[in-house]
Structure 1
């Protein structure tokens, strides 16, 4: 109100030390704010993710893989995009972690800036006999697609349906060469590994961040899934697998995303399959160097950084031990009252999971994690929604025993877990 009065009445501006004084809100445009869901842009405030209204956003979601050899989100030969998103929404979830492979972007550029069609991708990944069969099922369940539909078109459609149903999209670079992930000898383990070209990786991040500007539902992106020791490459392992190089490449990847899409959050994952990321919040040296985390190393977007960790300690017998591991390796970053916490960050458990049986979810691992996440008021993505994969580790139509959905993605694999475990976890998360 004061600003419009000043402008309309042409009140003279004050002069300070001989210079014209202009209020900062006049000197630069206000940040872009969305008047509708998801109320972006997002940013970080202490241990919380915030939308443009200042409201706290906590992800409660599931992983939806799209990084396999077909390079489109799984399950679409069995169900429509709308049906799958609706099933996720029916749980009360508010987010998906949508994975992709850098190879998809590499092929886009190698093909003269033109993406491969889904039809071609099915044939390449599944063969000339099974590829057309699965593709026909894909079209039958998703009739808006046709022979000209590309892989990126499918990602666009998933994002559009998520926006329609108000499901946040967290876009995850899962791997470089499209395949099942992960091992220390798969060539995708570390920056500079056999199939992990750093320049192509940064280019891919920038490409997807730029494309994601048209996705209303996109609110965050990751740098890389489960960084790990490149055991197949002894020289790279001895010279580069360390926090010093991790920090260098994390700055490069973060910059690529933010330059292309400044509105979204950026997730940083740690070492040893993303099981710990302590130097970022404890202020210890990025060994073997002496550099420590500094917000100045992420100029203008340190308030976009979120830490992510994974945990698959499925054989846990002690909840207190599991909680200590989660806290010490990542969630301590949310606790400014801890003397060891130098910098506070939000932390999201982007992967955890277990076999979907009526007995497994009642064991220490799943019940302990559910209680812990609720206490921490932390976000999470369970692995995995997929009842099956187009192809995994050479096996086509691979059964996923950990999948929330049945093989044909039509029903819940363990209704008792859905009702007794997962829905309560969602409720306890999104109410915080």
Structure 2
């Protein structure tokens, strides 16, 4: 609606305000760069806002309003959020009589004693919600506030079953795993990008978070955990996404918890051939990797590891040159880890390479994680009750990285 209104203003007055122009979509991939509709480079500098765990509602709303959280993300200079979701939310909509209301979601995940307490706090902080508000409507509300404050939304399918991610034995690891129904996964992606098309600031989606060996299923692991299976499923899903919403970028993640995409960059190897010419939407493909080399003792070795894992796609010599984003990296914020080799290396290396990123994680606590309610997250930018940043000095340092990335 906002974009249509802006178009009418252009017709009526022949001018475009800066607010109407943003987000200058659709974004496209051009070589190693992401460009907006004006041809300018776009680099993501953002944060992960998790919403794929047991409640299947983005975290923190019992402590703060959506407006406050988005405003504070904006205060860091960031321009993007990676907003995670679970396929189970869409399965409920499609198969189980409609989306779940917030009260029911909290009761199911937290129990009928604690659930109503947390639910009522969410309503107090976010009075735009009511007894009829559903989980997916929370995603709508976050996207709307991000649009208002000019922050890109990047959706990420984090899990199939709504719970804490990730392990090789959680049943969500690989195509066909216990909870990873491939047909429902594709349907869920299609649903979210179709709904997101109305937001105005959904610019991209990650098809699946941290694909990994399904070690709880020996047969699936030995017969299916390979690049040809990855290629078959990821390409099919990308085609569905592009047909449903041809405007958005589609992020391809790799194997081994998304720490390698080398066969994709090389174009051949490990049983697959991956070529730009195979895609009618090659200008919508972006690669993503994760990196948690927190014990690194050498920046040069980290850089070498990233290059061999997929960052070589940024070079002209790559068989397949695509934009690359580091959609997860992070560290403990309760100490001085931000001054260590790992964080310091990424703080300098990513801006120097003009590589976009989203840090893990915004949340100072979770509604519930692995059975523990109100779980403390020391890797969170926020403190436990989302009232302030956990580490002011580390935040100041992060702001400098944001500035360097977006310079």
TM-score, normalised to structure 2, is: 0.94
**Is 352-361 or 315-324 further displaced after alignment?**
352-361
Specify the alignment match of 2:209 in structure 1. 225
2:46 to 57, 61, 65: 61
Q: Secondary structure at the match of 2:103?
A: helix
Is 1:430 the equivalent of 2:406? yes
Task: Indicate if the aligned counterparts of 2:275 and 2:320 stay in contact, CA closer than 8 A.
Answer: no
Specify the alignment match of 2:78 in structure 1. 93
Specify the alignment match of 1:317 in structure 2. 297
Specify the alignment match of 1:196 in structure 2. 180
Q: Secondary structure at the match of 1:350?
A: strand
Kindly state the Cα deviation for residue 358 of structure 1 after the two structures are TM-superposed: 4.3
1:318-337 matches, cutoff 5 A: 318-336=298-316
Q: How many residues align?
A: 389
Kindly state the Cα deviation for residue 216 of structure 1 after the two structures are TM-superposed: 1.1
Q: Secondary structure at the match of 1:404?
A: coil
Is 1:292 the equivalent of 2:268? no
* Aligned counterparts of 2:375 and 2:136: Cα–Cα separation in 1: 23
Task: Indicate if the aligned counterparts of 1:251 and 1:297 stay in contact, CA closer than 8 A.
Answer: no
Q: Secondary structure at the match of 2:165?
A: coil
1:350 to 319, 327, 334: 327
Rg (Cα) greater in structure = 1
CA deviation vs aligned residue, 1:45-70 (integer Å, no higher than 9, x gap): 00011111111110000000000111
Task: Indicate if the aligned counterparts of 1:122 and 1:131 stay in contact, CA closer than 8 A.
Answer: yes
* Aligned counterparts of 2:276 and 2:337: Cα–Cα separation in 1: 42
CA deviation vs aligned residue, 1:236-276 (integer Å, no higher than 9, x gap): 11111011110111111101111110000000000000001
Kindly state the Cα deviation for residue 359 of structure 1 after the two structures are TM-superposed: 1.3
* Aligned counterparts of 1:358 and 1:89: Cα–Cα separation in 2: 24
Specify the alignment match of 2:102 in structure 1. 118
Kindly state the Cα deviation for residue 407 of structure 1 after the two structures are TM-superposed: 0.6
- Structure 2: runs of 5+ lacking an equivalent: 1-18
- Structure 1: runs of 5+ lacking an equivalent: 1-33
Task: Indicate if the aligned counterparts of 1:358 and 1:417 stay in contact, CA closer than 8 A.
Answer: no
* Aligned counterparts of 1:390 and 1:357: Cα–Cα separation in 2: 20
* Aligned counterparts of 1:375 and 1:59: Cα–Cα separation in 2: 14
* Aligned counterparts of 1:294 and 1:35: Cα–Cα separation in 2: 36
Q: Secondary structure at the match of 1:224?
A: coil
Specify the alignment match of 1:20 in structure 2. none
Is 1:307 the equivalent of 2:283? no
Task: Indicate if the aligned counterparts of 2:56 and 2:86 stay in contact, CA closer than 8 A.
Answer: yes
* Aligned counterparts of 2:174 and 2:274: Cα–Cα separation in 1: 20
Specify the alignment match of 2:117 in structure 1. 133
1:367-378 matches, cutoff 5 A: 367-378=344-355
Specify the alignment match of 1:37 in structure 2. 22
Is 1:251 the equivalent of 2:235? yes
* Aligned counterparts of 1:255 and 1:175: Cα–Cα separation in 2: 20
* Aligned counterparts of 2:371 and 2:334: Cα–Cα separation in 1: 25
- Distance verdict in 2 for CA 1:265–1:63, change over 3 Å: same
